[in-house]
Chain A
Amino acid sequence: MTPTVVFPVIIGGLYAAGVYLLLDRSLTRVLVGFLLLGNATNLLLLSTGGYRGLAPILGYAEPDQMSDPLPQAFILTAIVITFGISAFVLAMIHRSWALARNEAVANDEEDRRVAGRHDTDADELDPDDLAPDDRPAGHADSLTTRRRTGADLMEVADDVTLPLPGDER
Chain B
Amino acid sequence: MISVLAPLPVLLPLLGAAGTLLVGRHPRTQRTVSLVVLTAVLVVSVVLLLQADSSGPTAISVGGWPVPLGIVLVVDRLSALMLVVASTVALGVLWFAVGQGSADGSEETPLSIFHPTFLVLIAGVSNAFLAGDLFNLYVGFEILLMASYVLLTLGGSAPRVRAGITYVVVSLTSSLIFLAAIGLIYASTGTVNMAQLATRLGELPEGMQLLLQSMLLIAFCIKAAVFPLSAWLPDSYPTAPAPVTAVFAGLLTKVGVYAIIRTQTLLFPGGGLDDLLMWAGLATMVMGILGAVAQTDIRRMLSFTLVSHIGYMVFGIALGTTAGLAGAIFYVAHHIAIQTSLFLVAGLIERQGGSTSVNRLGGLAKRSPLLAVLFFVPAMNLAGIPPFSGFIGKLGLLQAGVADGSPLALTVVAGGVVTSLLTLLAVARVWTRAFWRPPTQEPLDDTAAAAASDAGAQAREPAPVGAAGESPGNSGSEQQGEPQTGRRAAWSAAWQRHEQVATAGTTVPGTRAASVRALRPLPGVMVGATAVMVAVTVSLTGIAGALYGYTDRAAHELLDRTPYIEAVFDGPVPAEDGE
Across the interface, which residues of A come within 8 angstroms of B556, CB to CB? none
Q: Once the chains bind, are A147 and B485 in contact (CB under 8 Å)?
A: yes
Q: Once the chains bind, are A77 and B139 in contact (CB under 8 Å)?
A: yes
Bound Cα distance A34, B172 (Å)? 8
Q: Is there a chain A Cβ closer than 8 Å to B3's Cβ? A: no
Bound Cα distance A75, B115 (Å)? 30
Across the interface, which residues of A come within 8 angstroms of B448, CB to CB? 109-110, 113
Bound Cα distance A41, B296 (Å)? 41
Across the interface, which residues of A come within 8 angstroms of B478, CB to CB? 150
Across the interface, which residues of B come within 8 angstroms of A158, CB to CB? 359, 444, 446
Q: Once the chains bind, are A156 and B442 in contact (CB under 8 Å)?
A: yes
Across the interface, which residues of A come within 8 angstroms of B494, CB to CB? 133, 153
Closest chain B residue to A75, Cβ basis:
B183
Q: Once the chains bind, are B146 and A88 in contact (CB under 8 Å)?
A: yes
Across the interface, which residues of B come within 8 angstroms of A114, CB to CB? 294-296, 300
Bound Cα distance A74, B183 (Å)? 9
Bound Cα distance A44, B184 (Å)? 8
In the complex, which residues 411-440 of chain B have their Cβ closer than 8 Å to any Cβ of chain A?
A: 429, 432-433, 436-438, 440
Q: Is there a chain B Cβ closer than 8 Å to A165's Cβ? A: no
Across the interface, which residues of B come within 8 angstroms of A153, CB to CB? 472, 476, 479, 490, 493-494, 497
Q: Is there a chain A Cβ closer than 8 Å to B11's Cβ? A: no
Closest chain A residue to B69, Cβ basis:
A70
Bound Cα distance A88, B156 (Å)? 12
Bound Cα distance A9, B478 (Å)? 80
Bound Cα distance A74, B164 (Å)? 27
In the complex, which residues 84-128 of chain A have their Cβ closer than 8 Å to any Cβ of chain B?
A: 84-85, 88-89, 92, 95-96, 99-100, 105-106, 108-111, 113-114, 117, 122-123
Interface range on chain A (Cβ under 8 Å from partner) = 35 or more
Q: Once the chains bind, are A145 and B486 in contact (CB under 8 Å)?
A: yes
Q: Once the chains bind, are B295 and A88 in contact (CB under 8 Å)?
A: no
Bound Cα distance A145, B485 (Å)? 6
Closest chain A residue to B425, Cβ basis:
A123
Q: Is there a chain B Cβ closer than 8 Å to A6's Cβ? A: no
A133 partner, pick from B139, B157, B296, B438, beta carbons under 8 A: B438
Closest chain A residue to B150, Cβ basis:
A88
Q: Is there a chain A Cβ closer than 8 Å to B559's Cβ? A: no
Q: Once the chains bind, are A135 and B480 in contact (CB under 8 Å)?
A: no
Q: Once the chains bind, are A159 and B359 in contact (CB under 8 Å)?
A: yes
A99 partner, pick from B161, B179, B187, B485, beta carbons under 8 A: B161
Bound Cα distance A122, B487 (Å)? 18
Across the interface, which residues of B come within 8 angstroms of A88, CB to CB? 146, 149-150, 168
Q: Is there a chain A Cβ closer than 8 Å to B548's Cβ? A: no
Known: A143-B486, A150-B480. A99 touches B440 (CB 8 A): no
Bound Cα distance A22, B173 (Å)? 9
Known: A88-B149, A96-B161, A149-B480. A48 touches B489 (CB 8 A): no
Across the interface, which residues of B come within 8 angstroms of A146, CB to CB? 485-486
Closest chain B residue to A34, Cβ basis:
B172
Q: Give the distance to chain B from A63, nearest Cβ to Cβ, in Å.
A: 12
Q: Is there a chain A Cβ closer than 8 Å to B113's Cβ? A: no
Most chain B CB within a 10 A radius of its CB, from A30, A110, A137, A149: A110
Q: Once the chains bind, are A110 and B444 in contact (CB under 8 Å)?
A: no
Q: Once the chains bind, are A48 and B432 in contact (CB under 8 Å)?
A: no
Q: Is there a chain B Cβ closer than 8 Å to A138's Cβ? A: yes
Q: Once the chains bind, are A133 and B179 in contact (CB under 8 Å)?
A: no
Across the interface, which residues of A come within 8 angstroms of B192, CB to CB? 70
Q: Is there a chain A Cβ closer than 8 Å to B235's Cβ? A: yes
Bound Cα distance A106, B164 (Å)? 11
Across the interface, which residues of A come within 8 angstroms of B156, CB to CB? 95, 99
Q: Once the chains bind, are B168 and A89 in contact (CB under 8 Å)?
A: yes
Known: A77-B139, A150-B475. A159 touches B296 (CB 8 A): yes
Q: Is there a chain A Cβ closer than 8 Å to B186's Cβ? A: yes
Q: Give the distance to chain A from B380, nearest Cβ to Cβ, in Å.
A: 16
Q: Give the distance to chain A from B211, nearest Cβ to Cβ, in Å.
A: 13
Known: A92-B164, A150-B479. A156 touches B441 (CB 8 A): yes
Closest chain B residue to A150, Cβ basis:
B476
Q: Is there a chain A Cβ closer than 8 Å to B509's Cβ? A: no
Known: A77-B139, A96-B165, A100-B158. A154 touches B472 (CB 8 A): yes
The interface bits of chain B over 486-522 (1 if a CB of A lies within 8 angstroms of the residue's CB, else 0) are 1101110110010000000000000000000000000
Across the interface, which residues of B come within 8 angstroms of A38, CB to CB? 176
Across the interface, which residues of A come within 8 angstroms of B176, CB to CB? 34, 37-38, 41
Q: Once the chains bind, are A148 and B300 in contact (CB under 8 Å)?
A: no
Q: Is there a chain A Cβ closer than 8 Å to B373's Cβ? A: no
Known: A45-B183, A48-B186. A136 touches B432 (CB 8 A): yes
Q: Once the chains bind, are B437 and A134 in contact (CB under 8 Å)?
A: yes
Across the interface, which residues of A come within 8 angstroms of B163, CB to CB? 108
Across the interface, which residues of B come within 8 angstroms of A111, CB to CB? 234-235
Q: Give the distance to chain B from A34, nearest Cβ to Cβ, in Å.
A: 6
Q: Once the chains bind, are A133 and B168 in contact (CB under 8 Å)?
A: no
Closest 10 CB pairs of A and B: A150-B476, A132-B490, A109-B448, A137-B436, A48-B187, A45-B183, A156-B440, A106-B162, A99-B158, A44-B183
Q: Other CB < 8 Å A-B pairs besides A147-B483, A153-B493, 18 of them?
A: A22-B173, A34-B169, A45-B179, A74-B183, A74-B186, A85-B146, A85-B168, A88-B150, A105-B165, A105-B166, A110-B238, A110-B447, A110-B448, A133-B491, A137-B437, A154-B441, A154-B442, A156-B440
Chain A interface (Cβ < 8 Å from any Cβ of B):
22, 27, 30, 34, 37-38, 41, 44-45, 47-48, 70-71, 74, 77-78, 81, 84-85, 88-89, 92, 95-96, 99-100, 105-106, 108-111, 113-114, 117, 122-123, 131-138, 142-151, 153-154, 156-160
10 examples of A-B residue contacts, CB within 8 angstroms: A45-B179, A45-B182, A92-B165, A96-B162, A131-B490, A133-B490, A133-B491, A135-B437, A149-B479, A153-B472
